[in-house]
Structure 1
Amino acid sequence: MQKGIRRLTCLLPREEPSNNARSQQESARKYRWTRVTHDPISKSPPATTPWQPGVLQRFPWGGLLALLASLTSIIASSVTLALSNERPQSEWSLSPSVVLAICSTVGVASLHYAKSEAATLSWWISALQGGTIADLHRQWAVSTGIWSTLRFWRHFSRNSLATLGVTLCFVVAPLLQRASSVDSRPFAHPTTVSLAAATTDANFNTAMPMGSGWSAEYAPVVFMASNDGRAIKNLSDGAEYLGCPGTLTHRRCNITTGLVEYPVTIANHSLSLRSPEPQTFPFYPFAPWSVAGISAAAKYILNSSITLELSVLGYNSSLGPFVTQWDADFDGRLAADYIDAAKSNSNSCAMNITDPTEKVLSGLHELFLRTGLAAGQAKPVHIQTIDAEETIETLVYVAKYEYLIGAIVIMVLGIGSVAVSFHGWWQLGRPVSMSPVETANAFDSSLMRDEALSNASLDTLLKTVGERQIKYGVVQEKDDPVLRLGDPDVVVAPAKGECFR
């Protein structure tokens, strides 16, 4: 033998010669081994295919990569939910529900492919290990669907476990769809705001010293001087003056800034409020905001008071005052509008004043609206750009991890059940499939007989006998007709009611 040349040697069975028909049937089971040598230098194909088992030679790359794809899909689903939780819809061009649907489809489809590969390996391993024809049939049947698995529950196998696990994985897709939902949240994010605000007080020419606490020295400042000779009176709640009872009612309202919607009517370039009660939107806690300018304008427009003074026309030391009259002093625009003249008497202290609260609030809303409109059209001065945090009501994705955990558990169980079915792949000596062509060859079908084909792969079988014409029908075997696959030239179509053995 030349150096560097390897020769492949296999042992093939050869039938012994016989002299009569009976001895031929007996000799069909008797063989002697013949040595066949293949020289790689020769251009002719090998006479046979060797049996080559092993871990790496027969490693099921396709099936195990499909299991890895299924595991990757459930990891991708978990990452998608974690990244989208409490995040605005605007940040996702492709919604998480679509991503989860893609992941579940890829994962379940990969698991189905892996289960198909594992079922094929498991069937051939069972055939290699030996058993009855019924055992092989059940191994194949349970891999086709859940119904056969339940039917043959007494013969539970690794293929049965894989079928149950993969069937259960059909609920993974709806679970992942429920794992992501949409809700509204007040979402805060940093931003910059341009405000018309001066850095220091402007347009002043003097200052008032201010100190912290009561120990500072203050210069006396006269804000208003009055010397009209009127007596100072204490108007307390429920006070009585010279036997004339009266009730002074106080109403306090807390007016804060907020976002409201005013119903208005615009006619002939004139705007008016249709309702004094605006629609108030949900209130969010804002930092204190100064409305000193609004407050000053409101005081000027709405601040009013009524002062009642008793005029004494005569006085007797024993009888006291006689011929009294009440004088009313009005201050402000609203004061005179709210005296109930029908129930009032200038000669008595019975002065009835109606509640002006509704009018005051309506005036404030009018002032707020018109001030806001004017401010929006005014040219800002002292513009500053400051950092701020904007809070808006927005739609965000919300993750429901309980559904994700359920999908993960089911998917992992399915992957584990399929992985078990790959056990023993190293015992096989060639690539296998569940093609009818290959299984027919394994069952020594008369249609598949050819020399050197007993250990041929599916591709080799198709190249050798793939073009052979066959037909299913009636074949005359000895004295009785049978249904078989055979040569179309000798096969006859079966007739209705015809019996076969």
Structure 2
Amino acid sequence: MYQPPVGGEMSPEITPSPSYYSDVHPPPTFEQKPVVTRKPVPTKSQYEQVNPVPDGWQGFPEDKGFQWLPGLWTHIPIPGILAIIGALICVAGTIAVLVRSDGMPVTHWTLSPTVYIALMTTGTNMLTRFAFHEGNKISWWYRATRGGTLRDLHTRWESGDGFWGALGAGRNFNLVSLASLAATFIVIDQPLIQRASTIVPATSVGFVNVTASIAPEIPYGYTGYQYGRVVYEQVMTQPMITAFNDFNTQAPITTGFTGCKDQCTGYVNAGGLAAQCTTLTGPVAYLQSPKMDGVDISNNSYIAQSPFSVNFTLVPEEVYKNDTYYSGNSSSILMVVSYTTNASLGNCGGTLVTRTCKLKSATLRYPITLQQLGQNTTVRLGNITAGATIESFQPPGNKTISIDGGSDFDRWTLGGLYLAANSLFQANATYQWIGALGVQMNLLDTLSNQFLVTPTGNNTLYGLGIPASCSSNWTDPTNHIIESLNQIAFRVALNAAQFPFRNTTSPPAPQILMMYETRTINVFQSVYRYLAASTVLTVVCVALVLPTFAGWWELGRSVSLNPLETAKAFDAPLLNGPGSNAPLHELVRTMGMRNVRYGEVEGSANGLPRRELKLADPQELVRPTSGTVYQ
């Protein structure tokens, strides 16, 4: 018995009789489908009028073809290989930038190393991705020539199309999938390499030239003014008062030096006091018992005597000239320091040390440290006693100008410093017998207390250390006094930078100092562990892309995944004709003028209408309609 086709369709060659149908075999039903009105297919002449082609093109001649030429050098993938080389060059460039910039000051780079690193890392990633796409083409066609299933070709294409396709390859995971993941994950090198260069503070050392505006000597008659005929009736001049007050308040020195950008150490010649000292040492007994031989009373016992004292005298110098001594035009300060050591309570005595120092105006080589703070350079003096040296002594002044005791109402070179010394450092500690209460000690000035050897005690009310009469010792204040007076003299020399030098009418020339500069600067620091991690990641990713180029030597032409080339390989009707081995540019040149559109095409199968969607001549299709089922 005849069996109708599945779905109730009837063969056009057989018409069953009415008796054939029954309850078991009901007659088929047919759905009335809408009729699609189409444009008539134009004739060849009409098509050529609508779609003109170049006059010189006649299509592929039937006998024309392209040779299949496999070989190592025939179709070498130059763009892909250059991309691989370029990516490795960018990696090397990144390493070079980080190594070169390590430890270099930030100011030496117009653009930060991170900018160059970012550019080269981006270039590495782009070139690696480009190389993967080039290798993916070769891998797809190489797989096609080796044979396989359409699923194999699809998996390779999908893996090359994006990250998710490669990740979802599953059992079909292949080298292309691995290379696709590598070309995607290579972007991790960006955050790694950006952390490979940081900015940190560092110390830079070297020599710099510093300009110093400072007087090499205290100018003649610059610090003191004498009223009348008495030498010691003097007052300080205005620049001396300024220097004296600044010293007392320890105001920072912020003028006179330029050229130091951070911290500089060195020496400068400036006015000061050179000390010539002599020392005498001997035993001393300050007070005797009020009764001598049980009868005599020593009146001297009630006179105060000093175990510690400092005194100053301003002395006009005598100049020997033409067999005659002249007073004036030069002066010095005489300082006498006395202090007691090895004190003994038994005889209220000890060892008395007396130092006599002559302080003369001179040029000293001061040790200094400059510190740049904002727009100001702060000057800090070093240890003058240990580090300063005497460069020269100041010669006497010109006799045509009366200074330093040459006449009444005179001006003194060291008069102001003498007044400062008396004000700050004159001292006189005393022991005095006061009868039944014994010996009384008086410490009425600063230095007597400052250089007293501190007595020992404990932290209780009646155990506190208290200086004892007759048994107290002092230390030598000479260096402290000379150091302090020279600090004042240094400030005076700064104030005198524009004052006429010696007997001239011009100020002294600025000094050019060679100083040792220590700068705190910002430098680039390369963190090599991040560089190593980024480099390893990049090289591994590039290495995983390389296998996709395997087999190019077995392909007979340059290949791509262009739709025209793959459609031609699948023998698409739209591309029917010769040129099966034509390279892409030939396909585009010869068939590129053909119009094409994706849409609905009506056909037939087994004599029944059939709707399909395909790429075809625009004249042969219509736009797809919503809800239509296409076969």
User: How many matched pairs?
Assistant: 382
Q: 1:167 deviation in Å?
A: 1.2
- Determine if the alignment matches structure 1 residue 302 to structure 2 residue 302: no
| Match in the other structure for 1:470 | 596
Residue 167 to residue 230, structure 1, CA distance change in 2 (3 Å): same
CA distance in 1 between counterparts of 2:371 and 2:518 reads 16
| Match in the other structure for 2:388 | 290
Q: Check conservation: 1:257, 1:289, Cα contact below 8 A.
A: no
State, as a whole percentage, how many aligned pairs show the same letter. Answer: 28
Q: Check conservation: 1:119, 1:143, Cα contact below 8 A.
A: yes
| Match in the other structure for 1:414 | 541
Q: Check conservation: 1:118, 1:418, Cα contact below 8 A.
A: yes
Q: 1:238 deviation in Å?
A: 10
Q: 1:311 deviation in Å?
A: 3.0
1:166-197 deviation per Cα after TM superposition (whole angstroms, max 9, x unaligned): 11210112211111011111111343456788
| Match in the other structure for 1:171 | 188
| Match in the other structure for 1:396 | 523
| Match in the other structure for 2:621 | 491
**Aligned residues: CA RMSD:** 4.8
Amino acid at match of 2:495: A
Q: Which of 117, 130, 147 does residue 113 from structure 1 map onto?
A: 130
- Determine if the alignment matches structure 1 residue 137 to structure 2 residue 154: yes
| Match in the other structure for 2:586 | 460
Structure with larger Rg: 2
Q: 1:349 deviation in Å?
A: 6.7
Give the TM-score normalised by the residue count of structure 1: 0.64
Residue 222 to residue 113, structure 1, CA distance change in 2 (3 Å): closer
CA distance in 1 between counterparts of 2:153 and 2:282 reads 117
| Match in the other structure for 1:28 | none
Amino acid at match of 1:121: I
1:109-150 deviation per Cα after TM superposition (whole angstroms, max 9, x unaligned): 111111110001101111111111111111100011111111
Amino acid at match of 1:128: T
Task: Extract unaligned runs of 5+ from structure 1.
Answer: 1-43, 209-220, 244-255, 263-279, 314-321, 338-347, 351-359
Q: 1:492 deviation in Å?
A: 1.8
Q: Going by fraction, where is strand more abundant, 1 or 2? A: 2
- Determine if the alignment matches structure 1 residue 500 to structure 2 residue 630: yes
| Match in the other structure for 1:101 | 118
Residue 303 to residue 467, structure 1, CA distance change in 2 (3 Å): same
1:274-316 deviation per Cα after TM superposition (whole angstroms, max 9, x unaligned): xxxxxx999x9xxx843999xx999766335342222366xxx
| Match in the other structure for 1:33 | none
Q: Check conservation: 1:169, 1:411, Cα contact below 8 A.
A: yes
| Match in the other structure for 2:103 | 86
| Match in the other structure for 1:217 | none
Q: Which of 550, 560, 575 does residue 448 from structure 1 map onto?
A: 575
CA distance in 1 between counterparts of 2:489 and 2:533 reads 55
| Match in the other structure for 1:265 | none
Q: Which of 161, 169, 187 does residue 152 from structure 1 map onto?
A: 169
Q: Check conservation: 2:105, 2:523, Cα contact below 8 A.
A: yes
CA distance in 2 between counterparts of 1:491 and 1:365 reads 108
CA distance in 2 between counterparts of 1:490 and 1:395 reads 73
Q: 1:385 deviation in Å?
A: 5.7
Residue 490 to residue 239, structure 1, CA distance change in 2 (3 Å): farther
Aligned partner of residue 141 in structure 2, secondary structure? helix
CA distance in 2 between counterparts of 1:97 and 1:202 reads 49
Q: 1:497 deviation in Å?
A: 1.3
CA distance in 2 between counterparts of 1:471 and 1:312 reads 130
Q: Check conservation: 1:304, 1:335, Cα contact below 8 A.
A: no
Q: Check conservation: 1:169, 1:410, Cα contact below 8 A.
A: yes
Amino acid at match of 1:155: N
Aligned partner of residue 519 in structure 2, secondary structure? strand
Q: 1:336 deviation in Å?
A: 11
Aligned partner of residue 87 in structure 1, secondary structure? coil
Residue 59 to residue 372, structure 1, CA distance change in 2 (3 Å): farther
Q: How does 1:61-76 map to 2 (within 5 A)?
A: 61-76=78-93
Residue 281 to residue 172, structure 1, CA distance change in 2 (3 Å): farther
Aligned partner of residue 51 in structure 1, secondary structure? coil
Give the TM-score normalised by the residue count of structure 2: 0.52
Residue 365 to residue 124, structure 1, CA distance change in 2 (3 Å): farther
CA distance in 2 between counterparts of 1:186 and 1:419 reads 46
Aligned partner of residue 129 in structure 2, secondary structure? helix
| Match in the other structure for 1:434 | 561
Q: 1:259 deviation in Å?
A: 6.0
Task: Extract unaligned runs of 5+ from structure 2.
Answer: 1-59, 218-266, 288-305, 308-338, 349-366, 392-416, 451-467, 471-480, 502-506
CA distance in 1 between counterparts of 2:545 and 2:510 reads 69
CA distance in 1 between counterparts of 2:91 and 2:469 reads 85
Aligned partner of residue 549 in structure 2, secondary structure? coil
Amino acid at match of 1:310: Q
Amino acid at match of 2:108: E
